Amino acid sequence: MAKTSPALFVKQVRQEVAKVTWPSRRETTVSTGMVFVMVLITAIFFLVVDQIFAWSVKLVFGLGG
């Protein structure tokens, strides 16, 4: 593999960064909101599943419920 000088490397990095399409503030806000919604839905799902498993184990081992 050919060696690259630090100056050439920095030049190539700047060229690549110039190609990046950055999201707008609105796109970032919407994406962040959707992440929080999905985390909330996932947390509720696992809470329900955990409660069902806990109830099933108590029922099987006769520990109440």
Q: What pTM, to 2 d.p., does this model score?
A: 0.65
The residues, ordered by sequence, that sit 6+ positions from 64 with a Cβ below 8 Å of its Cβ are: 58
pLDDT score of 35: 98
- Taking the C-alpha atoms of residue 24 and residue 21, their distance in angstroms, rounded to an integer, is 9
Q: Provide the pLDDT for residue 37.
A: 98
| 57: alpha, beta or left? (left if phi > 0; alpha if psi -120 to 50) | alpha
Residues 18-61 pLDDT 10s: 999 999 999 999 999 999 999 999 999 999 999 999 999 998 88
